[in-house]
Amino acid sequence: MSEANAADVVAAVRAWLAANWNADLSLLEWRTQLADSGWGMPHWPTQWHGRGLPVKLLPAINDEFVKIGAVGAAATGPRILASVTLLEHASDAIKGRFLRRIITGEDGWCQLFSEPGSGSDLAGATTRADFDGKEWIVNGQKVWNTSAHHADYGLLVARTDWDAPKHQGLTYFVLDMRQSGVQVLPLKQMNGHASFNQVFFTDAKIPADWIVGAKNAGWGVAMTTLAHERRPATGVAGASPDGREGRAYAQAREEIEIANEPYRWYPQRAGRVDLALPRAKETGAWHDPVIRQEIAKLLTLSRCTNWMARRAAAAQRIGKPQGPEGSLGKLAGSNVARQASHVHTLISGADAMLTGKDGPHEGIIAEILVSVPATSIAGGTDEIQRNIIGERVLGLPKDPRADTGPFRDIPRNA
Ligand SMILES: Cc1cc2nc3c(=O)[nH]c(=O)nc-3n(C[C@H](O)[C@H](O)[C@H](O)COP(=O)(O)OP(=O)(O)OC[C@H]3O[C@@H](n4cnc5c(N)ncnc54)[C@H](O)[C@@H]3O)c2cc1C
């Protein structure tokens, strides 16, 4: 899109917001207008509640929302993952049923991939889905499922062919979480939060055609979800509802309180680089040359990682397919978080272990130390990112495989 057209788009969204934004609407009424107009997800196709605009225009469109104080479309991680996956692979019937409700926030989603015996080895999933002639019957267990306790629907990878090689016997489904065959049990983490769950399926049911992509072609669809987890697509978040009056703001605050609760510790998980220098000054630790050196290392790493993220975002804006920068960025993020955790430990000393309001920075430092390890695990571990970079980017030889042939013959834990 040319610069002139970009200016036209900004003028169009500004005029539309001026004519339609009203903080006294309910959140659902407002977001229904966003879905009808295409301004909630302007980068989605026009057929599916978008305006078919390039992703690179999203920041400028978002600025207009912020200027007028309009809240944006509903967007939390799992909803975004669901929408990108459905847009790319689902039938029109599934898109028609779910996409609009993702924008309005009527449905919450979760990702049902990992299992006790298959996290990194996602293709080894043993949760099964069997077709009984009318619908799919699901049995098995998933684990580490963020937000499953709030979700209405799950993105499920399940085995549908035990005689095919392991990557070729998986199917990607949409599963209704609000049914008696689905049991969600929260897990408490060492940082005190409970954002994940175990999810058990006992004869859970899925309608015959709630398949995303084709039967037994779920691996490729799961790769789309994971690629976006490593390089998330942005949406129009709009203005923060904090401290503002109006029905839409009040309901947006409520929504954030509930939907964002599992993600409250995510800034700490990333290491809180922003706190390093202020805390070094505040505590006097910056007089120590070793600590200064470690802070310089942290800020350098962090700056370089931001540049890499900007390169990835630029590639996304010009419509380039997902490349190695997703894995590189994820690995770099882990290194930054670990170095930040190290720096916070150096600055606070043994006090860093004090939790709660009496601990340094009201317990935030302790929360950083016990949250950072998650960065190296979520969305694919550091070792898996290194394997991807080694094999797909550097062209190194792959590990010899002992898991070819029919899945049912591959040795695995019971
Ligand atoms: C914050 C967070 C949120 C998450 N949210 C979700 C979610 O919403 N939905 C979901 O389904 N899952 C979720 N997960 C789970 C996550 O995807 C898995 O934890 C991750 O894929 C690793 O799998 P695992 O825990 O089974 O570890 P394992 O796969 O058992 O790995 C154990 C160790 O072995 C190493 N390892 C494994 N295979 C190899 C290999 N081939 N080469 C070298 N080293 C290897 C790993 O790097 C790791 O150090 C989440 C995890 C976290 C931390």
Query: Cβ(383) to ligand 1 under 6 A?
Result: yes
CA of 177 to the centre of ligand 1 (A): 23
Identify the pLDDT of residue 82: 96
Which burial class, exposed, middle or buried, applies to 358 when counting CB atoms under 10 A from its CB (0-12, 13-18, 19+)?
exposed
Identify the pLDDT of residue 1: 47
Identify the pLDDT of residue 230: 65
Identify the pLDDT of residue 234: 62
Query: Cβ(373) to ligand 1 under 6 A?
Result: no
CA of 124 to the centre of ligand 1 (A): 13
β-pairing, 182-187 vs 135-143, is unpaired
Identify the pLDDT of residue 316: 72
Identify the pLDDT of residue 414: 58
Counting ligand 1 atoms within 8 A of each CB, the residue from 195, 230, 377 with the most, and so the one to mutate, is 377
pLDDT along the chain (414 residues), means of 10: 75 98 97 97 95 90 96 87 96 97 94 95 96 98 95 98 97 98 96 95 98 98 86 76 96 89 92 97 96 98 92 76 79 97 97 92 96 94 93 90 90 72
CA of 381 to the centre of ligand 1 (A): 6
Identify the pLDDT of residue 233: 59
Query: Cβ(377) to ligand 1 under 6 A?
Result: yes
CA of 186 to the centre of ligand 1 (A): 18
Tokens coding 221:
């669809």
CA of 165 to the centre of ligand 1 (A): 22
Query: Cβ(80) to ligand 1 under 6 A?
Result: no
Phi/psi at 192 (5° precision): 90, -15
CA atoms within 13 A on the CB side of 82: 32
Identify the pLDDT of residue 322: 66
Query: Atom 20, ligand 1: which residue's CA is nearest?
Result: 119
Residue with tokens 């599992």: 262
Query: Cβ(119) to ligand 1 under 6 A?
Result: yes
